[in-house]
Amino acid sequence: MCGILGIVSRSPNSDKGWLKNGLTSILHRGPDDLGQWISPDGRVGLAHRRLSIVDLSMAGHQPMHDPENGLVIVFNGEIYNFQHLRHELSQKGYMFRSQSDTEVLLKAYTEWGTDCLTKLNGMFVFALYDPRNEVLFLARDRAGEKPLFLYQSEEELRFGSELKALLSDTALPRQLDQESMDVYLTMGYIPGDKCILKGFAKLMAAHAMIFDISSGKSRTWRYWQLPESPEKTSYTAGKEELLWELNNLLGDSVKRQLVADVPVGVLLSGGLDSSIITSYAVQASPRVKTFHLTREWMKENMHG
């Protein structure tokens, strides 16, 4: 996991010292590297905490720049099909300086614009600054695995992987949203785009957002949704065929998620789901390590 943080505003904002404090508050999200970038005109500030998974070298450092068109990106997550996309983009003439999926995202946006989202298979949230069109492009993965909190006013947009990173700026309001509080006490979580604090929101799963720096206006849209369930009468496959298809889908999904330049492990919960995932993982990579915490160990080591 990594952490991202940033601000984009219509006019230059000289007070971006909170970005550094925000990065400190999310140290746990990425202890391997950190970076910060301020645009020459002072209207954009991007910051990143890195947990290195793919391309451990400094070539994967973020915020990452594309010198050809000035694009800058901060990215949290992993694009499971980045190698396939890299090959497709290479066939179109794109050159790469790193082995990272972050750079593939930059080139994918250059080639397909916001439609690049339809090609991504992974868990992600990113913010991409496009100086040519003076916009900030944000997107969150289909299942919403990676979080993104937002604070928007008439002049600016701020975003962060965690709410406390945004609150590193002491000037931002801290007023409880009563409706969200009621929902949390009822359901145990806050759904949709709501947030525990007034004025703050979340970018919803499978949604993207464009913030126009010149006008200060934003546009949010849903780029993916679950397909409708087919009518029972439309099923033509038998039970064995459906089981074979499910087996292939699960195997392919687990195999994609094993791509990493660091050791990969599986935490065994003792349940059926982690056992099934481990079975597919071992088929794809026999050296997968497994871990399990016993109740006795937790009693001895988990205090408070």
Q: Report, as residue numbers or ranges, the catalytic residues.
A: 2
- Which CA distances in Å does 182 have to 189, 195, 303? 10, 11, 30
Under 8 Å CB-to-CB from 208, ≥6 apart: which residues?
114, 117, 137, 138, 139, 140, 220, 221, 223
Give, in degrees to the nearest 5, the angle at Cα 185 between 181 and 188: 110
d(CA 5, CA 1): 14
Q: How far apart are CA 6 and CA 126, in angstroms?
A: 11
State how far Cα 92 lies from the chain centre.
Answer: 26
For residue 103, give the nearest of 131, 67, 152 by alpha carbon: 67
Best CA proximity match to 179, nearest among 201, 157, 153: 201
